[in-house]
Structure 1
């Protein structure tokens, strides 16, 4: 299911660039695997491949394009049982804010006092 979401995002990105011409559009779909690649003449490049391992899909892919400001943007990701994970991004993803001290103390207290159920 997760790979359908990632694939839909790729298609939405391509649809947003409706004035672009398709340079390459390859797809191979099997029962337990798939591969797709799309390249447009406006710098958009999308690649994705997935395979079924047992009852779990593992999907790897990349996306690249040039922003309206002229900056090159690229993302590599994997989607599996652990969810969607960005492996690399250019420009780098922003660093999340630190966990507040009160929340850290609450987590430590909960770990030290597990539920008896």
Structure 2
């Protein structure tokens, strides 16, 4: 690559596949000359909140130091969930803190806050005080 001219090297696609079905399901994949590969499949599914999409996929690429990075994921009505060896995870809770949390009795205010958090949004923020100006539009 010639850094002075700003020209970027051409990276070709080695393989590419795409398939869609009338029922809404699909699959696609591709692989490039520089080691990037992607594959994904998905299909529509009826859920409690209406139609959702269920997706499973995987992508990989070489890190700048040459280490292969691979991510596998799923996405559905429960959100996006990725797995990969390089994704950081939180450290375990130290045993002393775990014991202290288990031994900590509930406080007098804990029940009050639980009730507040369980109130529907409309009950907490509705009424004339919340939006006193009827002409203001958001």
TM-score tier after normalising by the smaller chain length: 0.5 to 0.7
Structure with the higher fraction of residues in strand conformation: 1
Instruction: Report the Cα offset of residue 90 of structure 1.
Output: 2.7
> 88, 99, 117: which is aligned to 1:94?
88
Q: Supply the distance in 2 between the matched residues of 1:30 and 1:85 (Cα, whole angstroms).
A: 25
- Give me the CA root mean square deviation: 3.3
Q: Supply the distance in 2 between the matched residues of 1:52 and 1:112 (Cα, whole angstroms).
A: 39
Structure 1 residue ranges (4+ consecutive) displaced by more than 3 angstroms after TM superposition: 96-99, 110-113
5 Å-filtered alignment, 1:1-117, equals: 19-31=10-22, 32-54=24-46, 55-86=51-82, 88-91=83-86, 93-96=87-90, 109=110, 113-115=114-116
Structure 2 unaligned blocks of 5 or more = 1-7, 120-138
Structure with the higher fraction of residues in helix conformation: 1
TM-score by structure 2 length? Answer: 0.57
The secondary structure found in structure 1 opposite 2:80 is: strand
Structure 1 unaligned blocks of 5 or more = 1-16
Structure number with greater CO (CA < 8 Å, separation at least 6) is 1
Aligned residues: 95
